[in-house]
Structure 1
Amino acid sequence: MRHDPAYRKITADEFLEMDFGTDRRFELEDGVIVMMAGGTEPHAWVQGNVFAWLRQHLRGSGCRPYGPDMAVRVSETEVRYPDVSIYCDQPPRDDLTDAKTLANPTVIVEVLSPSTATLDQGTKLEEYKRLPSVRTIAFVDPVNEMCRTVERMSQGWLDHMFSGTRGIEIPTLAIVIPHEDIFARD
């Protein structure tokens, strides 16, 4: 579809108003609707572990974690659904009942899959870096049980490449999600 001259690229606003009426998931990439790959059990489990830890530890902090149903508008022609995103200083939840995306994510977490690792750590990483509010981008590899954190610094981005047991460091929020909690199997 992308190369078909009859296909009109759409905007993020148009995409967010669409009801796909299916259990399949889609993102908007350069104005083109693309289907997201289905997840695996290890992917879903690790995403759940990260989200649950954040929900418990951010309660009352003014920051809220969201799962993969909350969109991140990365441009006027791109919409992504990260596995976990954290938003700080948002309006009260009662004011957000119809929100499909929120402004100014602070943290983005992507759980890697063999089929999406290159896209996540390439295209999506660069898109997330362009968002001025984003301070930390983390990648979690459930197969090798390793985490990578990319942190915005005053002079640019610092990439903490994959490490065995460090977990996910989020300096902006003064938290570290422990490795053993990310990959807990129970």
Structure 2
Amino acid sequence: MNALPQEATRVTPEEYLELERTSEVKYEYFDGEVFAMVGASLNHNRINRNMIQKIGIQLEGSPCEALSSDMRVKIEALEKYTYPDIAMVCGDVNLEKKKGLDTLLNPIVIIEILSKSTEAYDRGTKFQHYQLIPSLQEYILVSQHDCRIEKYVREAEGKWIYSLYGEMGQSMTIASIGCELLLSDIYYRVEFE
């Protein structure tokens, strides 16, 4: 999804959560600003569906689960709330429960499907912010415009190792949850421009 800044005055995290509780629109929050989430393209939706389905099948019977873009994630170090396209968690699910809302605190994997309007943000500032989540082990960026997936894996020393996948015949392993995905499955029915 794409975020568009709102022309509102600065708000507190509590005011943001109250807005989230009463609004039909999803918002992200950072540093007193709220950003409305706008609709996604057909390619974006197909990639999201394909990944959730394939990951879900592989996670049956495991302590891990994949959560869709409706699961809000909090970066506690920044008091930032965001909606990744897919968040995965294993074992105990740690939630912040405020204003009757659930917010995930301990994702292990975050996947963002890139759009032209958010790609630079997803690669830069947003990734820097996600790195502040202690539980996060893998960050995956999926292009919706061509066959290209970039994966970052956190090493024990806090270093991030980069891998690139760019051919339909390749498979990508998400080691922290024990899944392997074929790029041809991720991009099933996706039409590149």
- Given the two structures, how large is their TM-score scaled by the length of structure 2? 0.81
Tell me the CA shift for residue 162 of structure 1: 4.8
Q: Against the structure 1 CA distance between its residues 53 and 106, is the aligned structure 2 distance closer, same or farther, given a 3 Å change threshold? A: same
In structure 1, the residue matched to 2:97 is none
One-letter code aligned to 2:182: P
Distance 2:89 2:113 in 1: 18
State the Cα deviation string for residues 116-142 of structure 1 (Å, max 9, x = none). 111111111111111110000001002
Match of 1:61 in 2: 62
Tell me the CA shift for residue 171 of structure 1.
1.6
Count of residue pairs the alignment pairs up: 175
Match of 1:94 in 2: none
The residue that corresponds to 1:104 in the other structure is 106
Measure the CA separation in 2 of the matches of 1:152 and 1:114. 26
Gaps of 5+ in 1: 92-97
1:2-48: CA deviation from partner (whole Å, max 9, x where unpaired): 8x9x933312x5423433433x3311022211122421000011011
Conserved 8 A contact 2:72-2:104: yes
- The secondary structure found in structure 2 opposite 1:101 is strand
Deviant stretches of 4+, over 4 Å: none
Q: Give the TM-score of the pair, scaled to structure 1.
A: 0.84
Tell me: CA distance 1:25–1:177, structure 2 relative to 1, closer, same or farther (3 Å).
Answer: same
1:67-106 superposed matches below 5 A? 67-75=68-76, 76-90=78-92, 100-106=102-108
* Identical aligned residues as a percent: 27
Q: How far apart, CA to CA, are the structure 1 residues paired with 2:110 and 2:177? A: 13
Match of 2:26 in 1: 25
Counterpart mapping for 1:78-157 below 5 A: 78-90=80-92, 100-155=102-157, 156-157=159-160
1: distance between equivalents of 2:22 and 2:127?
26
Aligned-partner SS, 1:16: helix
**Structure 1's 8 and 142: CA in aligned 2 closer, same or farther, altered over 3 A?**
closer
| Residue identity in the other structure for 2:33 | V
| Gaps in structure 2 of 5+ consecutive residues | 94-99
Deviations 1:57-90 (A, max 9, x none): 1111101110000000013531010110001112
> Following the alignment from structure 1 to structure 2, what is the Cα–Cα distance between the partners of residues 32 and 99?
19
